[in-house]
Chains A and B, each alone.
Chain A
Amino acid sequence: MVGPSQNSPSPVTRDFLAGRFRDQLAGEDLLELESLLSEPRLLADRQVLIARGEKAHQATLLVEGYLLRSISRDNKRFIVGIHVPGDFVDLHGLMLKRLDHDILAVGPARIAQVPHEELDRVIRIRPSIARALWFATLLDAAIHRQWIRNLEALDAPQRIAHLFAELHHRLRQIGHNVNRALRTPFTQSDLADMCGVSAIHANRAVARLRELGLAEIRRGDLYTSDWKALEAYAGFDPAYLYGEEMSR
């Protein structure tokens, strides 16, 4: 996947709230934010960034790749959120101090970090940055609500379709050009854990999407010639992602 230009004045934070709140931030706010973040480093596939209950001392921006929020219980794992570049993945820890969930990489990922004390200083002197960060954490809450609604209202094939429709939309918000193929490092078991179904059901759901001619999913990659049809099937309405659709 080819990302946006590398020549941005803020190469590490260029995706932060892109397509959403970003245009409400002044240039100097963006530069200030950029200056706070460390040099990006790599996380390996399945590497845990922060575990539930661990004390959080810094906040992490995902620069490249995907991270998951997951909750484990009785040796079962539940995936409660997916992150794309530009997301401050553990910013909730700035206020909650210990997260109620784990955050881990799926596929290799690049992250940059900022110590909480630095962020604390900045949000005291720059209310606009405070609001942007607050907004970012509430976006997570909005996405959680949509997932709750999906689990309450959709069957397994629709849930998988919704998942990819959401991802497609979020990647486009940060300027990634996704055409017919959306490539992810997700395994079939990841998909099952995101949808709250067994691996067998996830398999059947994938087969169903193929039968309906909506999408072909192979090793985490989704191929479709008709995103609109996939969105309609999933009942996907992007307003909850707070892009331009919300202000229409």
Chain B
Amino acid sequence: MIDPNVEAVRYPITGRFLLGRLRQLMSEEEKSVLEGLVERTEWIDKPFRLIARGEKTDHSTMLVEGFMLRTLDDKGRRHAVSFHVPGDFVDLHAYALKRLDHNIDTVGRVKVGYVPHAAVDEVVAQRPHLARLFWFSTLLDAALHREWITSLEHLTVPRRLAHIFAEIWCRLDMVGLGERDSFETPFTQMDLAEMCGATAIHTNRAIRDLRERGLAAFERGRVTISDRNALESHAEFDPAYLYGAASLKLDDFPELR
């Protein structure tokens, strides 16, 4: 087992990349290579559109600290299609796609690291195993998207919100940032509404519903959960799609090594 805190100290910028998933398959050399790919880091204090849809980009962004959203705008309204936690190579998609079909928006205060695509080119040409892990990480996003489609297709707004809380907690856990019975986010009610595909009023009701059921209390970004199983079962949350330590886990595939 990898100790997330040791990784985060040893590799301060990229140490959370694929933690809880395939990081244990990365050699120390590969971890150093990845750390060295980051050209510079930057703190961004306020919500900021890091990349706008359609913009040409020649680098990708590692999220070091804080949260981000992938969003799409529609008739003046923003729709969030996924969120990101530290260790996510957020817009690595832009390496293969060149222009993104969506925006990357920061939420709260974040620290990011920029990786030039020319450096990723070298990894693809010379380090096939690391390149595969990069590819893998982008496909995790696709799996998350499918789960969100399912969740939007059949869950009520309060259950969607419960699902989002369960997912945030589980993903923070995987990268070593989960706490025992609560977690801190920079999300506003409006951000939650954009993730649930609901109006502010419906989202407000959903927040109240979860609190009244004793499942989750959301207050200024902090989410407190006393009974994790109850929350997850209310949300029909099955973490398998996160490809961590659940039924789809990957550790019995020698070809991934």
Measured CB to CB, the residues of A under 8 A from B are 53, 55, 69, 71, 73-74, 76, 78, 80-81, 92, 95-101, 116-117, 120, 123-124, 127, 130-131, 134-135, 137-142, 144-149, 151-153, 193, 195-196, 235, 239-240, 242, 246-247
- Asked if B149 and A80 make an inter-chain contact with CB atoms under 8 angstroms apart, the answer reads yes
- Asked if A145 and B81 make an inter-chain contact with CB atoms under 8 angstroms apart, the answer reads yes
Which 4 pairs show the lowest CB-CB distances between chains A and B?
A152-B197, A196-B153, A144-B145, A151-B152
Our pick among A98, A117, A124, A247 for the contact of B248 (Cβ within 8 Å) is A98
User: Bound complex: CA of A101 vs CA of B150, how far in Å?
Assistant: 11
- Asked if B97 and A71 make an inter-chain contact with CB atoms under 8 angstroms apart, the answer reads no
Name 20 extra pairs, CB < 8 A, besides A100-B240, A148-B152, A153-B77: A55-B253, A69-B146, A78-B149, A81-B146, A97-B250, A100-B146, A100-B241, A123-B128, A131-B96, A138-B96, A141-B145, A142-B102, A148-B197, A149-B72, A151-B149, A151-B152, A152-B194, A239-B53, A239-B54, A240-B101
Our pick among B99, B128, B197, B240 for the contact of A124 (Cβ within 8 Å) is B128
Residues on A with beta carbons closer than 8 Å to the beta carbon of B145: 141, 144-145, 147-148
Measured CB to CB, the residues of B under 8 A from A are 53-54, 70, 72, 74-75, 77, 79, 81-82, 93, 96-97, 99, 101-102, 121, 124-125, 128, 131-132, 135-136, 138-143, 145-150, 152-154, 194, 196-197, 236, 240-241, 243, 247-248, 250, 253, 255-256
- Asked if A144 and B124 make an inter-chain contact with CB atoms under 8 angstroms apart, the answer reads no
- Asked if B54 and A145 make an inter-chain contact with CB atoms under 8 angstroms apart, the answer reads no
A235-B74 contact in complex given A53-B248, A135-B96, A137-B139, C-beta closer than 8 Å: yes
A138-B138 contact in complex given A53-B248, A96-B243, C-beta closer than 8 Å: yes
A239-B243 contact in complex given A80-B150, A137-B138, A149-B74, C-beta closer than 8 Å: no
User: Bound complex: CA of A70 vs CA of B253, how far in Å?
Assistant: 24
A96-B250 contact in complex given A153-B197, A246-B99, C-beta closer than 8 Å: yes
Residues on B with beta carbons closer than 8 Å to the beta carbon of A96: 136, 139-140, 143, 243, 248, 250
User: Bound complex: CA of A92 vs CA of B138, how far in Å?
Assistant: 10
Q: Considering the complex, give the chain A residue whose CB is closest to the CB of B152.
A: A151
The smallest C-beta distance from A55 to any residue of chain B, in angstroms, reads: 8
Q: Return 29 A-B CB contacts under 8 Å, by A number.
A: A55-B253, A71-B150, A80-B149, A81-B146, A92-B142, A92-B143, A95-B136, A97-B253, A100-B147, A127-B121, A134-B135, A137-B139, A138-B93, A138-B96, A139-B97, A142-B93, A142-B101, A145-B82, A145-B145, A147-B145, A148-B152, A152-B194, A152-B196, A153-B74, A153-B77, A153-B79, A153-B197, A193-B153, A242-B101
The smallest C-beta distance from B10 to any residue of chain A, in angstroms, reads: 26
Interface of A is mostly: helix
Residues on B with beta carbons closer than 8 Å to the beta carbon of A98: 248, 250
- Asked if B243 and A141 make an inter-chain contact with CB atoms under 8 angstroms apart, the answer reads no
A100-B143 contact in complex given A134-B96, A145-B70, C-beta closer than 8 Å: yes
Residues on A with beta carbons closer than 8 Å to the beta carbon of B250: 96-98
- Asked if B154 and A76 make an inter-chain contact with CB atoms under 8 angstroms apart, the answer reads yes
Residues on A with beta carbons closer than 8 Å to the beta carbon of B247: 53
User: Bound complex: CA of A76 vs CA of B154, how far in Å?
Assistant: 9
User: Bound complex: CA of A149 vs CA of B72, how far in Å?
Assistant: 7
Residues on B with beta carbons closer than 8 Å to the beta carbon of A78: 149-150, 153-154
Our pick among B74, B101, B248, B255 for the contact of A145 (Cβ within 8 Å) is B101
Residues on A with beta carbons closer than 8 Å to the beta carbon of B146: 69, 71, 80-81, 100-101, 144
Residues on B with beta carbons closer than 8 Å to the beta carbon of A137: 135, 138-139, 142
User: Bound complex: CA of A70 vs CA of B105, how far in Å?
Assistant: 30
Our pick among A117, A145, A152, A193 for the contact of B102 (Cβ within 8 Å) is A145
User: Bound complex: CA of A148 vs CA of B149, how far in Å?
Assistant: 5
- Asked if B75 and A235 make an inter-chain contact with CB atoms under 8 angstroms apart, the answer reads yes
- Asked if A97 and B256 make an inter-chain contact with CB atoms under 8 angstroms apart, the answer reads yes
- Chain A CB count within 10 A is highest, among B77, B139, B140, B154, for B139
Residues on B with beta carbons closer than 8 Å to the beta carbon of A246: 54, 99, 101
Residues on B with beta carbons closer than 8 Å to the beta carbon of A127: 121, 124-125
Residues on B with beta carbons closer than 8 Å to the beta carbon of A247: 99
